[in-house]
Structure 1
Amino acid sequence: MHILITIAAFIVTLGILVTIHEYGHYWVARRCGIKVLTFSVGFGKPLLTWQRGDTQWQIAMIPLGGYVKMLDEREAPVSDAERSVAFNNQHPLKKMGVVAAGPLANLLLAIVLTAGVYAYGVQTIKPVLGLVSADSVAARAGLQAGNEVLTVDGEPVSSWDAFFLEMLGTIGQDTAMLEVASGSGARRVVTLPLDSLGKSAFGPGMLGLLGMSPYPLTLTVGDIAPGQPADRAGLKVGDRLLALDGKPLSDWTQIPRALAAGQGKKVDLLVARQSQQFTLHVQPTLVTQGDVRIGKIGVGPAVDEARWQAQRFTEQYGAVDAIGVAVHKLWAQTRITFLAFGHMFTGRAPLDQISGPLTIAKFAGDSASLGLVAFIQFLSVISLSLAVLNLLPVPVLDGGHLMYHTAELLTGRPVPARIEEIGQRVGLALLLGLMALALFNDFHRFLPG
């Protein structure tokens, strides 16, 4: 069932984003008096066509994109009567408007969707540190469980997602300044070192690397995998873990760290069950994670439900405020996207952050399974990403064409056909290389082995 939801959500996502993007080009072209010959959602053989005025509208076989074909003397002969409505004969500003309209349509869609979600109300969690790992960067900086993050480098944060987004924007800095409030309301500023992050910073685990988590994990066993070492040793749900190999435990994250360092060595767990205390001897199973082998015992923590429920809230704004929140959020995402591109280009961020259609399809299916609001949030993120990608100054993308038309505006003459042809070849090679990398990353993520 989930695979069907994934396929359907992927098709709907592409259909909406491509249609909006191409309609942006079409709408501005028509208002500039340019004749549009074809509006296509998809590439390849048309599956469905219909005529509307001068334009043939069609849905084609390959759904990974679309195009708007305009009358253009560079592509086919044009009669004298129609030369004034050919794209190549327009003023450079008109050409720039037509080219920019596609990405701007995706940007506008992202703003509308995000504002709509915040006007409706988003279930989220407060930027409260549910857990600060012992001896972590965050702990050494003075952060404690229960602290609420108010600002990051002066930027206010209203939710854990906003906190994560602002922290991504600090990557590359030596430190981040966090204003936090304790449970009593006392405020203070904490300087958080970032030099230990390295390439793994770009990703959902960034805050975890610093030792921060929103989940108020306890030392009580909440889950045991059947047949795994903890189960075979006699550990039960509800047991409280007091010490590992004689060392007292203060938070759950000490357990996986000790197992990873032990590399499969048998461990002794001091356990409290009701009024009894006893020691269990557990032989971890060695598993491979990345390039290293670590010990696993098949046990998970219970969450402090009272604290967790206290952290959850509905983030909701009036219509006008929701637009402001959406613009701020999308600007932050755009800034981080360009920051990520810059770090990947200089080798400071891993290239496996680039995702392809399989990853998009997976997230489309996952978000659709969570409900309409989650799917709309996903659609907004992808629409913004499509806008940003298309505005990159790479020939064959809209940003590359904007570059050509800007040069025409400044010099008073079109870019020579030979230079444009070379640029198209270079741009196509770059785009194909990017697609190949994205597909490689997709297969590496989802295929076994």
Structure 2
Amino acid sequence: MLLTIFAFVVTLGVLVTVHEWGHYWVARRCGVKVLTFSIGFGKPLLRWQRGDESWQLAAIPLGGFVRMLDEREAPVSPHEVSQAFNRQHPFKKILIVVAGPLANLVLALLLYAGLYAYGVDAIRPIAGQVTPASIADRAGFRPGDEILSINARPVASWDEAFVSLLDAAGDATPVQVGVRNADAQTVVRSLPLSELGRAVYEPRLLVRLGFTPYPLTTTIARVEPGGAAASVGLKAGDRLVSLDGKPLAQWADLQAALQRGTQSLTLGVRRGEELRQVIVAPASIEVSGRKIGRLGLEPAVDEQLWQRYQVRLQYPPLQAFTAASEKIAIQTKLTLAMFGRMIVGKASLDQVSGPLTIATYAGESARLGLSNFIEYLALISLSLAVLNLLPVPLLDGGHLLYHVVELLTGRPVSPQVEAIGQRVGLTLLLALMALALFNDIHRLFLG
């Protein structure tokens, strides 16, 4: 819990500081006087002066602000009028507004490039298991297949494959996947993502398609106490060799049987030299509105194969920036596409996350190591940059829209229009925050 809180505070602190520093730095370069630089909202916990500027850390760490001299907020001395934000040319206003999201974008680029230059551990996109009767199985994928490209775009890890599949999710035609099979032959297979419907945009996309990156064995690694498997005497170290009288070739075959329901299963079990059969009645659980079976078993991973699946991606500095730029371009496109699909109902609103989920993932990434935490920080920084530029009043994108209108018409947006926009923007943001908090609570506490 302490690590999660610390990681969450560091994440917000870094991202908010960088964002507000972007506004601050450009405002100063444009000749605008800055009054307050605040990390956080609400009552100041710590405050100090730098010349005429007040710098502070406030109680609510969910954002920050840079308050500039502005005649719309308070009277301005005649000798300082030229430094007021509202007196600036619309182009300068646009630069100041864009500077915050741009600073987050630059931070994401530097973090990703640094990671690629240093080297990141990844998993080669090799199918450890393919679920029987799944979309991947029907498309011809088999355990041991290595994905080389998706729609002619090379991929070197499961992360890259996941992003490329999401990028192609809106296509009506099947995705063309270049594969090296277990016989070292290179083939192209068609993967119809459209069969998943809205589920194509979920984080469990690979599982939904039928891919399991881990090379699972049919040996039991753990038996859940009190579960269905424990009730018939199964133990860690037992190897399952048959299912309903047929040889059990892979763990995915057992998973597929459980997906079909809770009917009793006959399992052939080898324990040392002993071979016996047990009949087990799976417990019933509900997943996505459908009842499936659960035995309470965890399979062992083939450690030798797993070591072969590991890869370290490392690039020279220039190539690292190129790879980082490509990653940012793809993720920006995906973020905007996902937001658009949620608006028109083609993607589930369950994907909206709030501070609880951000804190949880920040803590998990920190536990996995510094590289994972930095990558998570880069992703959130990029998301903050993109979402802040959406044309919603109260966000930078809403202010940007006002200043673009002023640039085109030659006069500022009226106070009445801004006031209406603020009310609409506040309503939208409060609704979004409520949805995010609901999703957080449901995801973290109700499963």
TM-score, scaled relative to structure 2:
0.96
CA contact (8 A) 2:243 2:267 kept: yes
Structure 1 residue 201 and structure 2 residue 200: aligned? yes
Task: Tell me which residue corresponds to 1:236.
Answer: 235
CA contact (8 A) 2:269 2:276 kept: yes
Task: Tell me which residue corresponds to 1:304.
Answer: 302
CA contact (8 A) 1:244 1:255 kept: yes
Residue among 324, 335, 338 paired with 1:337: 335
Task: Tell me which residue corresponds to 1:355.
Answer: 353
Structure 1 residues 39-96: Cα deviation after superposition (integer angstroms, max 9, x where no partner):
0001111111111122111111111100000001111111221111100111111000
Task: Tell me which residue corresponds to 2:283.
Answer: 285
Task: Tell me which residue corresponds to 2:29.
Answer: 31
Gaps of 5+ in 2: none
- In 2 relative to 1, CA 73–357 (structure 1 residues): closer, same or farther, beyond 3 Å? same
Task: Tell me which residue corresponds to 2:109.
Answer: 111
What is the distance in 1 between the residues matched to 2:257 and 2:294? Answer: 10
CA contact (8 A) 1:178 1:192 kept: yes
Measure how far apart 1:276 and its partner are: 4.0
Task: Tell me which residue corresponds to 1:12.
Answer: 10
CA contact (8 A) 1:395 1:401 kept: yes
CA contact (8 A) 2:113 2:321 kept: yes
Name the SS for the 2:175 alignment partner: strand
Measure how far apart 1:273 and its partner are: 3.4
- Farther-moved stretch of structure 1 (337-346 vs 138-147): 138-147
Task: Tell me which residue corresponds to 2:86.
Answer: 88
CA contact (8 A) 2:131 2:255 kept: no
- The correspondence of residues 100-249 of structure 1 with structure 2, limited to 5 A, is 100-174=98-172, 175-249=174-248
Structure 1 residues 86-120: Cα deviation after superposition (integer angstroms, max 9, x where no partner):
00111111000000000000011111111111111
Structure 1 residues 224-283: Cα deviation after superposition (integer angstroms, max 9, x where no partner):
1233221221223333323322344332122233224233x3321122334443211112
- Farther-moved stretch of structure 1 (133-142 vs 5-14): 133-142
Structure 1 residues 24-51: Cα deviation after superposition (integer angstroms, max 9, x where no partner):
0000000000000000001111111111
- Tell me the amino acid that sits aligned with residue 311 of structure 2: F
Gaps of 5+ in 1: none
CA contact (8 A) 2:220 2:299 kept: yes
Structure 1 residues 107-152: Cα deviation after superposition (integer angstroms, max 9, x where no partner):
1111111111111111111111222222221122122222221111
- In 2 relative to 1, CA 180–292 (structure 1 residues): closer, same or farther, beyond 3 Å? closer
Measure how far apart 1:387 and its partner are: 0.5
Measure how far apart 1:173 and its partner are: 2.1
CA contact (8 A) 1:106 1:383 kept: yes
Structure 1 residues 294-346: Cα deviation after superposition (integer angstroms, max 9, x where no partner):
32111111211111100102111122111111111111111111111111111
Residue among 264, 267, 286 paired with 2:265: 267
What is the distance in 2 between the residues matched to 1:339 and 1:160? Answer: 21
What is the distance in 2 between the residues matched to 1:246 and 1:77? Answer: 86
What is the distance in 1 between the residues matched to 2:300 and 2:78? Answer: 76
Structure 1 residues 374-427: Cα deviation after superposition (integer angstroms, max 9, x where no partner):
111111111111101101011110011111111111111111221111111111
- The correspondence of residues 406-445 of structure 1 with structure 2, limited to 5 A, is 406-445=404-443
Structure 1 residues 198-231: Cα deviation after superposition (integer angstroms, max 9, x where no partner):
2222222101111112111122222212332212
What is the distance in 1 between the residues matched to 2:418 and 2:382? Answer: 27
Measure how far apart 1:448 and its partner are: 4.1
Name the SS for the 1:196 alignment partner: helix
Name the SS for the 1:68 alignment partner: strand
- Farther-moved stretch of structure 1 (43-52 vs 285-294): 285-294
What is the distance in 2 between the residues matched to 1:288 and 1:179? Answer: 35
Name the SS for the 1:64 alignment partner: strand
- Tell me the amino acid that sits aligned with residue 205 of structure 1: R
Name the SS for the 1:63 alignment partner: strand
What is the distance in 1 between the residues matched to 2:353 and 2:446? Answer: 17
Structure 1 residues 154-213: Cα deviation after superposition (integer angstroms, max 9, x where no partner):
211111110111111111223111111224442221111112212222222101111112
Task: Tell me which residue corresponds to 1:62.
Answer: 60
Task: Tell me which residue corresponds to 1:385.
Answer: 383
- How many residue pairs get aligned? The number is 446
- Farther-moved stretch of structure 1 (61-70 vs 123-132): 123-132
Name the SS for the 1:34 alignment partner: coil
Residue among 362, 365, 368 paired with 1:367: 365
TM-score, scaled relative to structure 1:
0.96
What is the distance in 2 between the residues matched to 1:162 and 1:155? Answer: 10
What is the distance in 1 between the residues matched to 2:17 and 2:264? Answer: 58
- Tell me the amino acid that sits aligned with residue 36 of structure 2: T
What is the distance in 2 between the residues matched to 1:229 and 1:139? Answer: 28
CA contact (8 A) 1:133 1:251 kept: no
- Tell me the amino acid that sits aligned with residue 221 of structure 1: I
What is the distance in 1 between the residues matched to 2:306 and 2:445? Answer: 35
Measure how far apart 1:12 and its partner are: 1.1
- Percentage of identical aligned residues: 55
What is the distance in 2 between the residues matched to 1:155 and 1:403? Answer: 35
